[in-house]
Amino acid sequence: MVKSKSSHLYESVSILSGVGAKKVEALSGLGIRTVMDLFYYFPYRYEDFYEQNVYNLADGDKAVLHGQVVTTPVLSRFGYKKSSLRFKMEVQDLVINVVFFNQPYLRDKIMIGEDLAVYGKWEQAKLSLTASKTVDLKKTDQLEPVYSTTASIKQWAIRKLIKSAFEDYGSELINIVPNEIRDPLHLMDEHDMIFKIHFPKSYDDVKEARQSAVFEEFFLYLGRLKWLKKDDDQLGIQVNYNLNELKQFIETLPFELTDSQKHAVNEICFDLKSEQAMNRLLQGDVGSGKTIVAALGIYAAFTAKMQSALMVPTEVLAAQHYDNLKQLFNDTNLQVALLTSGTSKSERKALLEDLKNGKIDLLIGTHALIQPDVEFNNLAFVIIDEQHRFGVNQRRALRVKGLMPNILSMTATPIPRTLAITIYGSIKISTIKEMPKGRLPIKTIWVKGASDPLIDRAVRYELEHDHQVYVVAPLVAESETMDLRNAEEIYDQYVQNYPKVEVALLHGKMKPDDKEQILNDFAAKKYRILVSTTVIEVGVDVKDATLMIIYDANRFGLSQLHQLRGRVGRSSIQSYCILVANPQNEVAKKRLELMVESNDGFFLAENDLKLRGAGEVFGNRQSGEINFKVGDPLEDQKSLQLARDAVDQVFSKDPELTDAENQNFHEFLVHTKDQDETID
């Protein structure tokens, strides 16, 4: 059998030299399973190792400075395994201070009188460079890519692997985007694009490659979405619900639906009765009452003697939905069940039997719902909460549990309608803009210093009133390169400041079971203060949590700040959000001012779009429902629209992609069909 030219690209990374089982597992944790995945694992930024003029530096700049060591390095130790190494260098007739943190081994390598280049962050007031590494200007590439990593695999290892893979298999890279699309848009050759992204000689290389990479990423994502959905565009299950029974149930609710909720319910019910399978996105601000809207769709299906499923991203959120919906349907015959990875074998066996026999009307769960042994009797309605947390195939796997059931996706991240349609394809959108009656707007305050006495007063006030507090930091631990507050440091501080109060620490590096336990314990009020990174952005509903403190708030985008703020204000109790930040640029200041001004997620989303500039070439993005590696749906709307038009053009001419010019595109879709990217 003759292999295709690109055969190695879709093979496991285990074919690369030095990649054993442990490294395969570590790479898999980054979403890298094949050689192609490795090539498309793009840097999120670059470190600039061009030697710079010390007199041109501004405070906070990162730079490479080259000069002569003029004092003997002095090593000081403090704390647990912490140290500083300090010495002076003469750089361009200016004597500066240099400090390395937690690199004590450098003391024996840096000698007085030595010619040395160091990379770090410049502090103008102290004429000091907080250095992270020494640089060999003769051997180091002037632009060094920086990749997202985990504890299991280091930065240098990823760089080495990509270089090795490119040397062995880079020649096999092919143009996936068909030439009829590529040529008019002047897209770079695939080989050159990948090379310039990973091994750029200048920022011009990066910018040129990025233009092609952005379009291609959108094109391949939308193409894959179209390919996966092409078999789904057919007649679905018609739910002939009992309108009178639904109205009677609505009358039993202990609150009145808002006009937005009523409108959304009507749209969903219209879709349920239609012969066409529902494909609808329900978007609403945090706390706007999306769940009750979905619940009414569930009850409508129940009146037609049909089943529903609700899939959520975390076990904590699944348990919350289970408790709330079980209580909501308590006086009806609608049977609710919960299925997660924590369900015991005996419980699971009995539950699955009841589900298959139609004794369960609503099944709530996490990814456990899409396991092969989960069989429904007559699944008609599927709700996917925080749908951007699930991959395309995960959502599709739940849909095929029934004969084309109706799909309702829910998100609390408002995005412009045209952008939503472009990203999600032919999807109908329902929007809830009003908040339920009785909810008080969260009062947001911006303070510039972490030592502001208002923070302590606010914490003590909420604790005295038997309330709970969230505290959010941008980093897990201390960083040598970023002068930001970290969760571990803040946790120690809060334990010391509030010794009679139970304080918990939560971050993404913890084991999933440990994270779930801490969240459950916080919800059960075993902890009064939760210090966390952004892992609490979604999926936590604690009624007694009334204060949110966000350190270095300028490091987050508007939409993320709004999501974090939405963790409080979940009851009729007045809640507060304190933003702690002292930004030096006007855009960051404007974001914080907008947060203080408004609680409206749609208003903030629109202003986020207006405020955001080009940012770093591959910089951290603050928005987007999809974790694109290069493109940003908001910043790169023009490319996104061009990609959507191009995908439509290709599929309208050749729906099955059998034409020769679409062969590489077809091969890509076939090989990636079973890869489940998380859309986040």
pLDDT at 342: 79
Say whether pLDDT at 192 is over 70: yes
Say whether pLDDT at 627 is over 70: no
Q: Which residues contact 231 (CB under 8 A, 6 or more apart)?
A: none
Query: Cα–Cα distance between 531 and 529 in angstroms, integer?
Result: 6
460 and 372 part of one domain: no
**pLDDT band, residue 152 (cuts 50/70/90):** confident
Specify if 624 maps to a domain. Answer: no
264 and 379 part of one domain: yes
354 and 415 part of one domain: yes
pLDDT at 262: 94
395 and 315 part of one domain: yes
110, 134, 158 - which closes a domain: 134
Instruction: Look over the chain and give the mean of its residue pLDDT values, rounded to a whole number.
Output: 84
Specify if 255 maps to a domain. Answer: yes
97, 116, 134 - which closes a domain: 134
Specify if 657 maps to a domain. Answer: no
- Mean pLDDT is highest, among 22-26, 43-47, 49-53, for 22-26
Weakest mean pLDDT among 251-260, 322-331, 390-399, 647-656: 390-399
Q: CA dist 462 to 88, 141, 444, 516, 577, Å?
A: 48, 53, 15, 24, 12
472 and 427 part of one domain: no
Say whether pLDDT at 620 is over 50: no
263 and 370 part of one domain: yes
Say whether pLDDT at 101 is over 80: yes
Specify if 354 maps to a domain. Answer: yes
309 and 398 part of one domain: yes
Weakest mean pLDDT among 90-94, 125-129, 400-404, 430-434: 400-404
Specify if 490 maps to a domain. Answer: yes
Structure tokens at 622: 């603050």
Say whether pLDDT at 625 is over 60: no
Q: What is the pTM of this model?
A: 0.61
**pLDDT band, residue 196 (cuts 50/70/90):** very high
422 and 511 part of one domain: no
408 and 485 part of one domain: no
Count of structural domains, the chain: 3
411 and 329 part of one domain: yes
Identify the CATH number of the domain in which residue 94 sits: 2.40.50.140
Specify if 380 maps to a domain. Answer: yes
Say whether pLDDT at 285 is over 90: no
pLDDT at 141: 65
**pLDDT band, residue 513 (cuts 50/70/90):** confident
495 and 535 part of one domain: yes
Mean pLDDT on 584-603: 87
No. of helices (H) and no. of strands (E), the chain: 21, 21
Looking at per-residue pLDDT, the higher value among 404 and 426 belongs to: 404
Tens of pLDDT, residue by residue over 636-679, are 878 888 998 999 899 989 988 999 999 989 988 887 765 544 33
The residue segments making up the domain with residue 248 are 243-432
Specify if 655 maps to a domain. Answer: no
- For residues 473 and 537, the answer to whether their CB atoms sit within 8 Å is no
Q: Which residues contact 344 (CB under 8 A, 6 or more apart)?
A: none
94-101 and 45-48: which strand pairing?
Answer: unpaired
407 and 448 part of one domain: no
Mean pLDDT on 573-584: 92
580, 598, 616 - which closes a domain: 598
337 phi and psi, to 5 degrees?
A: -135, 155
pLDDT at 537: 59
pLDDT at 676: 45
Specify if 478 maps to a domain. Answer: yes
Q: SS in 3 state form for 570-624?
A: CCCCCCEEEEECCCCCHHHHHHHHHHHHCCCHHHHHHHHHHHCCCCCCCCCCCCC
Say whether pLDDT at 575 is over 70: yes
- For residues 190 and 173, the answer to whether their CB atoms sit within 8 Å is yes
Identify the CATH number of the domain in which residue 417 sits: 3.40.50.300
pLDDT at 304: 95
Say whether pLDDT at 330 is over 70: yes
Say whether pLDDT at 48 is over 80: no
